[in-house]
Amino acid sequence: MNPTRARRPRDHSVVVSRFAEACEADDRIVAGLLGGSRARGEADEFSDVDLCAITTDDGLESVIRGREALIRRIGEPLFIEDFGHGRIVFFILADGMDCELFFERERGLERLEVGPFQPLVDKRGILAGAEFSFSPPDPGEQRERLREIVMWFWHDLSHLLAALGRGDLWWANGQLEALRRYCVNVVRIRHGVEAQHEAYEKLSKEVPVSELDELRSSFCPMERDAMLEAGRRIVGFFRAHAPRIAEANGVAYPTELALLKSARLEELTEPAS
């Protein structure tokens, strides 16, 4: 039997209705909404559920502290973690449903960025006519991120050189992936999309992925010669695109460093002894 066909679709409406009930019952919560792909009507069976609880001005901290109790009113959690975000908590329920829950206070409503949404609870009418658009990437932050990328690329290439030179293929494989992500983020920045640590996430919705076709052949077996060739292709891609994007964003490109490290890569033509 095909395991994909055998999988039962999960009913996100149960999560949504229980969340709405929990918001209604909590005097500290003045509104609740559904965001993300499910609010936009673009969800599939792999989509998570994006929820947001808007609290009274003085109730935010206590609601966040008691978030586990709130989540348990939605379902049985097997995983709860904020990863240091504070006002966002990620949880996975026993039925396999992945969820994100955002918290904001009423007076901070203008800071909320969830895009199109569906109101679930609105005790004070604060969601009527509201829009929570995503802000474009901050130009200064984007410029600094690009500066870091064009410098860290050549720093991490040093690690690839050391790994290949020593025959440490596991380390080399990790460095190839790091370098490839820098390339992907350079393309994201070219299209005005925020650079991400998870550079591949929803990439096909953010940029024309055909622009990354040159990188396809850089995915290779863990064999030294194949990895060396992959490194050359990644470096070639970066050198072809990063200088122009750096110049367009007012970022200094380390030309001499790029030449030095590229030449060092070309020297690695013999297997490590």
CATH number of the domain that 106 lies in?
3.30.460.10
Which whole-number Å values give the CA distances from 130 to 6, 51, 109, 112, 270, in the listed order?
Answer: 41, 16, 9, 10, 63
In a domain, 20, yes or no: yes
Please count the residues of the chain: 273
Which whole-number Å values give the CA distances from 23 to 19, 81, 103, in the listed order?
Answer: 6, 20, 12
Segment 176-197 mean pLDDT? 95
Reported as a pLDDT band with limits 50, 70 and 90, residue 87 is very high
- Predicted pLDDT at 70: 97
Instruction: Identify whether residues 72 and 154 lie together within a single domain.
Output: no
Instruction: Identify whether residues 109 and 15 lie together within a single domain.
Output: yes
In a domain, 129, yes or no: no
Residue 36, judged by CB atoms within 10 A of its CB (0-12, 13-18, 19+), counts as: buried
In a domain, 164, yes or no: yes
Instruction: Identify whether residues 154 and 108 lie together within a single domain.
Output: no
The 3-state DSSP class for residue 160 equals helix
Segment 77-88 mean pLDDT? 94
Instruction: Identify whether residues 144 and 262 lie together within a single domain.
Output: yes
Of the candidates 53, 59, 62, the residue with the CA atom closest to the CA atom of residue 19: 53
| Residues 160, 228: Cα–Cα separation, whole Å | 9
Instruction: Identify whether residues 115 and 199 lie together within a single domain.
Output: no
In a domain, 130, yes or no: no
Instruction: Identify whether residues 103 and 144 lie together within a single domain.
Output: no
CATH classification of the domain holding 226 = 1.20.120.330
- Predicted pLDDT at 136: 83
- pLDDT (tens digit, 9 = 90+) per residue, 22-50? 999 999 999 999 999 999 999 988 999 99
- pLDDT (tens digit, 9 = 90+) per residue, 209-245? 999 999 999 999 999 999 999 999 999 999 999 999 9
Q: Which amino acid is at 185?
A: N
| Residues 158, 149: Cα–Cα separation, whole Å | 14
Segment 85-104 mean pLDDT? 95
Please state the domain count of the chain. 2
Instruction: Identify whether residues 89 and 192 lie together within a single domain.
Output: no
pLDDT at position 272 over 60: no
Instruction: Identify whether residues 263 and 153 lie together within a single domain.
Output: yes
DSSP state of 7: S
- Percentage of residues in the chain having pLDDT higher than 90: 81
Mean pLDDT of the chain: 92
Most trustworthy range by pLDDT among 90-94, 136-140, 268-272: 90-94
Segment 130-148 mean pLDDT? 90
CA 223 to chain centre: 30
Give the other-Cβ count within 10 Å of 265's Cβ: 17
In sequence order, the β-bridge partners of residue 110 are none
Domain final residue, candidates 122, 152, 172 = 122
Instruction: Identify whether residues 176 and 59 lie together within a single domain.
Output: no
- Predicted pLDDT at 270: 55
Domain that holds residue 209: 139-267
In a domain, 134, yes or no: no
In a domain, 35, yes or no: yes
Exposure string for 145-184, b = 16+ CB within 10 A, e = fewer: bbbebbeebbebbebbbebbeeebbeebbebbebbbbbbb
